[in-house]
Structure 1
């Protein structure tokens, strides 16, 4: 496997792909940002690796996605490859996370 500073989340229903890059930190203190800087992936003690989106005018980020099948205590120092799920309003989506080779 190549470097773990770049990866993509590919939506299974239509192939839409979002790319993420390490913005800061190392290991579980890392912050990965989507290319448009709208979504971040960070490690959360309760949920493990997760996606967060800034709330419009509310100040607090909103949990919008997470690893599906791997418990937080079983996740490593980098976002977990494999199936992720997300929600956007009343819709939910399934993605696969893959590191760039």
Structure 2
């Protein structure tokens, strides 16, 4: 996706089993903008110190993040590439890929 295009949707594609989670730009009840997963109340949000993370605005727990934390990140959209997550004692590797929306 080129620099002038605003991200409105992306997928997280889990490498181990090809499971795909779809996210779209959304606004929460408090007026905060992030990317909400299509199958539940799971968010990718901009954190002032950590930059893009999977988590919640009001919770200190980070559930996922881009693997390459040294890469430049825009505050407008999460970076494409490798992401890692943690759920309990399990970790997963994903590829974040921008998708076209109608």
Is the contact between residue 48 and residue 71 of structure 1 (CA under 8 Å) also seen in structure 2? no
Partner of 1:30: 33
What TM-score does the superposition give when structure 2 sets the normalisation length?
0.78
- Structure 2 distance, partners of 1:3, 1:14, is 29
Partner of 1:19: 22
**Alpha carbon RMSD of aligned pairs, Å?**
2.4
Structure number with the higher helix fraction is: 1
How far does the alpha carbon of each residue in 1:42-73 deviate from its partner, in whole angstroms, 9 at most, with x for none? 1112211110159xxxx73631000111337x
Query: Which residues of structure 1 form unaligned runs of 5+?
Result: none
Query: Which residues of structure 2 form unaligned runs of 5+?
Result: none
What TM-score does the superposition give when structure 1 sets the normalisation length?
0.79
- CA 1:51–1:93 in 2, change beyond 3 Å: closer, same or farther? same
